[in-house]
Structure 1
């Protein structure tokens, strides 16, 4: 099982989330190494592999899970019920704690959105109406919906050109915080809209 991560459409990899593992002593374990059939193995970080293993092949055992975000945020500890874990496969026993971690990350993303630069209410409503109109158009004419989305793409590129140049005059940290992105993703976004190389 590969590690499972989550992202939001708006913030992407800047706030990529996952379920993190904590041992009984509070430490974070290293990835678990699995041998491959061809002689090449791989490291796995998915929470379900931290089940203690077997006497012949021991592995760390998770005592609690918590949500982690690429921005450095971590959620509250979600303890795994050992009375349940002893009677069921670990992946099932820890599923409730893992689901709560996803909910914690969702609340974190909502908070990130609240801290970004606000849009005028009229514009928010307009964007919501345009989104709803294109989704409705999809049922009637998917090709027309694609044309409408393409038109939005052109509008975005055209209208964001000069704002990107203006935003470049501010400190990268300030712009990144206002957009809810990390600095790298912010620079890439401004470069794409502004028409310059992200490496300049």
Structure 2
């Protein structure tokens, strides 16, 4: 079975805040995955992509609204679908505006998540941005030198990361670490474990 739902993530938060377009039925419930018999043996194609919920097949319901959803449990406002206006159009084309609005709602959600994380000192933010810029410039003129700079950075960060993770484990609960990093508790534990494996 395959799920072709489109999902979005950010570099910083990854799968802790994976977003997608969610579907609501007229009674406010979430439909089950749509199943399609491919006609070639026992293989069944499964989809939760919002555009398949057009009600044109008897066993697949028709969506009443779209909304942004996130793997953290957040859900955005509903964007109703006007089926009189949609008519016989393909839903993916006809409801493009509602899908885009759902994506924008999720963008706003991740912006709020970032705002709730522990702030970084401006000096650190500036240094990180400068380092990324300088290594990017170096990659254009001397890719091998840029690669060495990346390796040096990773080595330095590995040592610092170990001590940061160790102190964080001692001074905070998993829930506090997750909130500070904008991750789920499971993802925060995984990140701390990864950094602690780099024991200097």
TM-score (norm 2): 0.91
Partner of 2:14: 12
- For residues 61-113 of structure 1, give each alpha carbon's deviation from its aligned partner in whole angstroms, at most 9, with x where no partner exists: 11110011111111111112324311521111111111111111111111101
Structure 1 window deviating more from structure 2 (163-172 vs 135-144): it is 135-144
Once residues 60 and 50 of structure 1 are traced to their aligned partners in structure 2, the CA distance between those partners, rounded to angstroms, is: 6
Partner of 2:166: 165
- CA RMSD for the aligned pairs? 1.5
Alignment of 1:1-200 (within 5 A): 2-36=4-38, 37-54=40-57, 57-169=58-170, 170-195=172-197
Once residues 143 and 82 of structure 2 are traced to their aligned partners in structure 1, the CA distance between those partners, rounded to angstroms, is: 48
1:64–1:79 Cα contact (<8 Å) kept? yes
Q: What's the secondary structure of 2:150's corresponding residue?
A: helix
Aligned residue pairs total 194
Which runs of 5 or more structure 2 residues have no equivalent in the other structure? none
Q: Displacement of 1:58 after TM fit?
A: 4.0
Once residues 145 and 33 of structure 1 are traced to their aligned partners in structure 2, the CA distance between those partners, rounded to angstroms, is: 48
1:80–1:93 Cα contact (<8 Å) kept? no
TM-score (norm 1): 0.91
- For residues 22-58 of structure 1, give each alpha carbon's deviation from its aligned partner in whole angstroms, at most 9, with x where no partner exists: 011211111101113332113210001101124xx44
1:81–1:93 Cα contact (<8 Å) kept? no
Once residues 79 and 152 of structure 2 are traced to their aligned partners in structure 1, the CA distance between those partners, rounded to angstroms, is: 46
Change beyond 3 A, Cα 1:81–1:194:
same
Q: What's the secondary structure of 2:133's corresponding residue?
A: helix
